[in-house]
Structure 1
Amino acid sequence: MKTRLTCPCGTIIRATDEDDLVEQAQAHLSAEHPGREYDRDAILFMAT
């Protein structure tokens, strides 16, 4: 299970499970990188 993602901007997102990680990553993108959207598969591909 992947629960960590480092955004290219340097923000580290940690989550309890993959659903939480996707939710947090999408929230980060909306807040910090408007106009950039990634689907679940793309987020999990970049996660560790």
Structure 2
Amino acid sequence: MKTRLNCPCGEYITGADEDELVEKVQAHLKAEHEGREYDREAILFMAS
């Protein structure tokens, strides 16, 4: 299970599980990187 992702902007995002991680990453993208959107598969591909 992947629960961590390091955004290239320097933000370190963690979740209790993959669902929470995807939710948090999508919220981060919306707030900090307007216009960038990744689906669940892409986020989990980049996560560890």
Instruction: Report the TM-score when normalising by structure 2.
Output: 0.99
**Distance in 2 (alpha carbons) for counterparts of 1:28 and 1:40:** 14
Show structure 2 runs of 5+ residues with no match. Answer: none
Q: List structure 1 segments (4+ residues) > 6 angstroms apart after TM superposition.
A: none
Instruction: Report the TM-score when normalising by structure 1.
Output: 0.99
Match of 1:20 in 2: 20
- One-letter amino acid of the counterpart of residue 43, structure 1: I
**Distance in 2 (alpha carbons) for counterparts of 1:43 and 1:8:** 13
Show structure 1 runs of 5+ residues with no match. Answer: none
- 1:38 offset after TM fit, Å? 0.1
Match of 1:46 in 2: 46
Provide the secondary structure at the position in 1 that maps to 2:23.
Answer: helix
- One-letter amino acid of the counterpart of residue 46, structure 1: M
Q: What is the alpha-carbon root mean square deviation over aligned residues?
A: 0.2
- One-letter amino acid of the counterpart of residue 41, structure 1: E
